[in-house]
Chain A
Amino acid sequence: MLIPVVIIGVISLILGIGLGIASKKLHVFINPKISEILRVLPNANCGACGYPGCSSFARAVAEGNASASGCIPGGPKVAHAVADILGVSAGTSEPMMAVVHCKGGTKEAASRAIYNGIQDCYAASIVGNGSKVCQDGCLGLGTCVKVCPFGAIQISPNGVAVVDADKCTGCGKCIKACPRKIISLIPVVHKIYLACANHDRGAKVKKYCSVGCTACTLCVKATSSGAISMENNLPVLDYTKTENFIPAANKCPSDCFVDLVSVRPKANIDTKCDGCGACVPFCPVPGTITGEKGLRHTVNKEKCIGCGLCLDKCPTHAISVWGAGSSMKTRQSGQRKG
């Protein structure tokens, strides 16, 4: 009875020690991110990402050859988890969302023909560059809808593609898919963008689109820090300059801007304020909260974008938000979700 036990025990011991030494000697460094990414992937090996399986996709992501949001069945949750592992969304990089720079639907923008071909923007743009008079308008045939892995884009009843801010992860697939090149990424915090991509002169634009940019430059004048500049008859918004675009949007005579927040709340500082100034550095729009140290501070209602970042920074709970209602809550949660 003892002999077989000893034999097996000794053989296993020798093999075990041998393997232990070999694994040290033959150790190969593998990027630890690959296994980490593999852990958060669904591991369905469906191949929807274009790679043979989850492990090769994980390797491609870790090596920077694939986008973090490439896993389609995983959806935004997995995309965020992968991005977290890669450190993409961490630190200074801002959450982005896609926006369609056009709001001229069938009501606003004139058509010059009826398109009855294949229901695809590429196909339509091959046939005489689409049915709209505007050569930069959204064709509304949903090529971007088809490529969106998160179901964040819809064609509005008006015939223009609209991005759902809550679902969009900023993966940028639609940007590549759009034959008109009128989709771009904006920081999620701003939620305000110019919904026109037409470079024609004002008089010409007015003839075929009621919401087209006429290059009047009123928005440029409404901003102080040069965050909006005119380029080829179209204002260009520079989101890197922390600027409040609301006054500019309100000035637009053609209503070209889209503000994704229906009611912009305003912060208000009440008498409990002891003038500590703790809230000032957290305000993304410089010069919104002003006041002398030790005295009650005030909010410049023109500049406040109602982001609510100052709310919980006040040690005396003197800051509240007016005119917000439920939209304030959705805005804040949307912001954090990014």
Chain B
Amino acid sequence: MASSIARGGEDEGEDEEFEGFDDFTIASSWERFISEIEAVCRLWLFDGPKNLVDKGAECLDHPKNLYKVKSELKYGGKDYCLEFYFMINIDGQATEWDDNLHNIQQSFGVNEFLVIAPLSASGVVLDSPESSKLLSSVAIALSNCGSNWPAFVPVHDPSRKAYIGIQSTGTIFTRRFDADRIGSQVPVRLMHMEGLYELFVAKFASFDYPMNYSKVSFGMKLTYRTPPFDDDEEDVLENMEAEVKESEEGNDGYDHIKVQWDDDCPWAEWYSADDPIKGFELITIWPRNTCESSMEMAELENASSFDAEKWSLYPLISPNMIDDSAGKFIGFASQLRLLVGALDRSFDAKFLEDFVSAENIGSDNSNPAVVIPPPTVRDRVLKELFHDGAQISSSLDLENKNSRAIKGTPLESLFAQFCLQSLWFGNCNVRAIATLWIEFVREVRWCWEESQPLPRMPSDLDIDLSSCLIHQKLHLLAICIKKKNLLNHENHTSVEITGQSSDEKGLAEFDRNEILDLPQDESMVDEFDSDSPDSEGTTGNLAVDTEFAVASPDVQKSCPIRKGSAGIVGNMMLLHSFQKMHAPYTQDAPVMTEDMHEERLHAAEVCGDAFSTSGQLEREILSSDMSAFKAANPDAVFEDFIRWHSPGDWESEEIEDRSTGNKEDPDQCNWPPRGKLSQRMSEHGNSWRKIWNDSPALPASEQKPLFDPIREGEKVLHYLETLQPHHLLEQMVCTAFKVSADTLNQTSFGNLQLMKTKLNQLYITLASSLRPLRANRTHDKYELIGDLRRLCLVFENIEKLLIFASSLHRKLRDAPRLTEAIFNDYFNYYLPKMGNSSASICFDKKFSNKQQVNMLERDVVANLFPPPTANQSWRKVLSMGNLLNGHEPILREIIFSVAHRVGDCHYGSNIPWTHTEEIETHRMYIRGTSNDLQGCVRMWKSQMLIASICFEQAYSSDHLLFQKQFH
């Protein structure tokens, strides 16, 4: 094949030279061209669609299922390209308004077709004789091989999208195709249905075939576009490569809407996302109808869009949504990527200060990668962190159930906010973070020194060991500050607190309530009344007693040496002294962070099994409790303590002694209580008794504290101040991922199950991917950073998807079914990218899935088209009719056709497009707006002598006629 083309080329060269000299050569050149076309077509015919696909036919992305093969040919010193478009698996006739049609298919109502075009920049034949000749060549070739494929040649200026075409039908008729376009200044007549109808009627009336006027049938498709949520990009329309020059109203209200759209979204605090949905296009399809007069058509222009048979909607997606080249999308994901970069750098130095000092890396502040934001920015961030924050409420309900599996901190907490601020501090480089951290720690130390409560810290005393270590440390510090304040408070006031001492700070009130743990004390009062037998584990406090001291002054007077009593325990009497048992105030168990626990467990593990002396801390607590008990009950014995502390180990011999005892008069109790210690408690060498014997009588307030807030507080600050860069960054990365996800998780997107699933999956992925960071083991840094970068991509995909979901939800809030359907379509379109986090998949095809709108949802969709404001309407010249809420369609497509009864003898057996006797003899497809109109005509003509000059002339006159009517 190739050689024959080459030979043809040489011949052509000769032909040119001797043109007009030897017509014999000219004829043979054209014939050779025809035979070349014929050879190619025969090959294609022979192969059939299936084989052509197997042989590597190019699949066109947009019209699904459409394939293309091509062959290059030479003729007359020019290169031509012959292309054959075909579909496989055609299930029946494509519907009239199928979205998946090539524009030639749509325009002319054909399935497979040939296109021959010169290989030039414009790809069209500008010269009329040349186009006719080309078409004739193809037609002859096709006829020679008995094919009915329609063939097209692009003509005129490319912007006109003009084609001429021909198809043999195997009958005496030949189909002719003709398309042209008016790119500007469409005559008013052709803007209206009436005019278009008349154009069609005039068109076929001029031909040789008798027509039945009453049978003009038409179908209509109107496309509306919502007023711009955003700027108008060109080529938003399917199948239309025409540049639709948007009218100047594009910028109207554009800034306003764009700034506003995500204002109340949870991420808006940190960044503003481009609205991923630029608008919607609504396609209304009208049922096929027949029309008898142009009046009818004119009336149709006033018909409501609600009369259309079918509505379908699809969103116009912002190109940013699918372009994932770095830097295109600014969101949490982009900042997290920077943070991971900072983590990578953080291994370079041992101390955070190294990153800040001038002589170190990046001493020139000009390098944008290491620029540190100016102090004013830093101060603003610190002010927001420390002064604008309140105590956090435990708003666990906002968190995803999988969120706790990530070692981070609650969203509102100080360190979480520090991490979020860091993400947006400068460009989140390691130097900027180091600067911010050093100032952050300085501020924390100031709070400590000045005994100011740490902001944004949980108010409870239980450190959440599942949070990240820095958060635990800060929490511990917050507790230390409270306890320190309390100590100071005590020193200032007398030991005998009246309970009404005025609070210098609101804090003191808060603390005292908390430390006294009032609810528990109240429950103890209940126990007095009800004589509940179970008063084990009264955990009082280091705090000096207030209420009970007041409540039972007589007791205190009668026992001057009694100290640190939190009140009597039910009706329990001491064994060896006729006195009520008093529960002591005891010290709080020390508050510990994860690392302290681990140290302790490790110690227990090392010596525990071997020496059974585990639980050193618990021993100290027990000893402290015993001392406090002794102080509160000076005459108590070991058994008394056990009765209070571990009632299970006291085997009482009294039957219901507590209930038979007279509640009002404790003197009536059977005294002394009879019973004995349990076997295990009374054994010789019992370690409890040993501790009891070793414990001095000391009230909790006078004991060596189990927990030294000053020491622990300083230790926390030491930890914060000497934290190694990579330890800081590791925890920041974990926390930042978690709180970014938590922030996004608050987005409302309705009931989109897929989105929920994806978010849950994100959390699970985060938890498992971040797990290596949580164990303090030395990891392969490169592998780790690589994994984290991939995680950023995963995050970005979910983030974008979520923004899309949110945008979609707020626009179609009242049509949940439609929202979900559109989202699911988009999700499936987006899915290939999400599965593949490492490579960026190029989206060749545009998202164009259309969702049919239910009757019930039409109102919601119509609301997407707010009636234009006065401002908009005066600028817009409404010219087409078929208004939807005052918006005219951006595109009107009409197919006119006339069917005619054709005798059986007229056509052969192999006509694919008709099975009835009614044959669509004339068809005109019109697509256009008020300033752009494209018309495509298909008509039947009596068989003529193909491959003759007559044909050419007839054809071109035909064409002129059409053009005349257009202009």
Physical interaction between A and B:
no
